[in-house]
Amino acid sequence: MSNADVSHQSTPAPASTTTTGETEETVRESWRTYDVTGEPAVAVEDLNVHYGDDHALKDVSMDIPEESVTALIGPSGCGKSTFLRCLNRMNDRIKAARIDGSVEVGGEEIYQDGVDLVELRKRVGMVFQAPNPFPKSIRENVSYGPRKHGDLDTSLLSRLLGRDDAEAEEALVEQCLRDAALYEEVADRLEDNALGLSGGQQQRLCIARALAVDPDVLLMDEPASALDPIATAKIEDLIGELAEDYTVVVVTHNMQQAARISDQTAVFLTGGELVEYGDTDQVFESPESQRVEDYITGKFG
Ligand SMILES: Nc1ncnc2c1ncn2[C@@H]1O[C@H](COP(=O)(O)OP(=O)(O)O)[C@@H](O)[C@H]1O
Ligand SMILES: [Mg+2]
């Protein structure tokens, strides 16, 4: 508290604003340095992303603690999705994207030759804004990843050879659906097509599908923004529970949601800059940056 007061007093009265209405200020390193106890689950250093000539992320460094919820907030176009996609090299799929810098997951550099991207995306799963279940049964959606990776073998041949993993699949599907707070609602219709579920159920199924390959980190890009308030509340509760076992990094443009669900909050502002990063209570109650305060209080964005 007192720290923030002091730094506010020592900040010169902000007069000029940018074209987007943001106060001009020089970002201080201390605003975005956050001391993580223990080894960070994800350590980002000097990350820069260009799309052609567009510099979408500028010198972002950020340590993300394990088994907690880290929220990424900021106005549209400030680079939140770009940042999230860097954490499991999804930006590799975008031709125009050039990525410089370092990202370590569990202490291992993911931007180096020889990294197995399939393995990486098992460790760092992703859930998108619009639920995207496969047009398959609920069961097959959950067991899809483990089967693809060869962790479950339920083929007819295996069954004939007596190496059937059907029981293991049964247990895995149930466990993942339970962990995604969906099991009770679908237990009696696991063979039904997933597309028949409500939007909120589909999103929880996508979370169950992501959990099935046993990730360490779960990335979520506005996972509730396409859902009604009741479905949103379920996803919010679920995120809190998941953080007991996983490192959750969630983009949201809903500030109340970030304040409710996260342990740490990172605020990105126009130009792809990480401006402030710290404990969620501190960022929302006594932000160091005038621009972050203006953003949080709804003065722009
Ligand atoms: N696939 C892409 N190709 C080119 N430019 C992109 C692409 N994705 C994002 N951008 C640009 O990068 C900037 C950041 O976008 P994005 O990461 O989607 O922001 P946010 O998720 O915060 O809204 C924007 O200027 C956007 O136009
Ligand atoms: Mg986005």
Shortest-distance ligand to the CA of residue 75 = 1
Query: Closest ligand 1 atom, CA of 85?
Result: 17
Packing angle between helix 138-148 and helix 166-179, nearest 10 degrees? Answer: 110
Cα three-residue angle 28-72-120, rounded to 5 degrees: 110
Q: Quickly state the pLDDT bin for 163 (edges 50, 70, 90).
A: low
Q: How far is the CA of 76 from the centre of ligand 1 (A)?
A: 9
Asked if the model's pLDDT at residue 7 lies above 50, the reply is no
- Cα–Cα distance measured from residue 116 to residue 125, given in angstroms and rounded to the nearest whole number: 14
Question: How high does pLDDT run on average in the chain?
Answer: 90
- pLDDT level of residue 167 (50, 70, 90 thresholds): confident
Which tokens belong to 124?
């760092």
60 token code pair? 């972002």
Q: Which atom of ligand 1 is nearest to the CA of 272?
A: 14
Is the predicted pLDDT of residue 127 greater than 90, yes or no?
yes
- Check pLDDT > 90 for residue 117: yes
Q: CB-side exposure of 56: number of CA atoms within 13 Å?
A: 20
Mean of pLDDT values over 167-185: 92
Task: Tally Cβ neighbours within 10 Å of residue 301.
Answer: 19
3-state helix, strand, coil in the chain (%, to 5): 40, 25, 40
* Number of the ligand 1 atom closest to the C-alpha atom of 94: 1
- Rounded mean pLDDT of 145-163? 70
Among the atoms of ligand 1, which is closest to the Cα of residue 74?
Answer: 22
The CA 1 to ligand 2 mean position distance, Å, reads 31
- Give the C-alpha separation, 288 to 276, whole Å: 7
- The edge-to-edge listing of strands for the beta sheet with 54-64 is 108-109, 97-105, 42-51, 54-64, 273-279, 264-269, 69-73, 247-251, 217-221, 124-127
Residue 21 has pLDDT above 80, yes or no: no
Looking at residue 8, what is its pLDDT? 46
The predicted-structure confidence for 194-249, as pLDDT tens digits, reads as follows: 999 999 999 999 999 999 999 999 999 999 999 999 999 999 999 999 999 999 99
Which ligand has an atom closest to residue 128 CA? Answer: 2
CA 271 to ligand 1 centroid distance, Å: 11
pLDDT in tens, 261-278: 999 999 999 889 999 999
Report percent pLDDT > 90 for the chain: 77
Residue 52, number of CB atoms within 10 A of its CB? 10
**How many CA atoms are closer than 13 Å to the CA of 72, on its beta-carbon side?**
28
Backbone angles phi, psi at 81, to 5 degrees: -65, -40
Any residues with Cβ below 6 Å from ligand 1, and which? 51, 54, 56, 74, 76-82, 94, 96
The predicted pLDDT at position 161 comes to 62
Ligand 2 mean position to 232 CA, how many Å?
18
Mutate to test the pocket of ligand 1, among 20, 48, 50, 51 (most ligand atoms within 8 A of CB): 51
The CA 147 to ligand 1 mean position distance, Å, reads 33
Q: Encode pLDDT of 54-69 as tens digits.
A: 999 999 999 999 999 9
Dump pLDDT digits (tens) for 31-44.
998 988 889 999 99
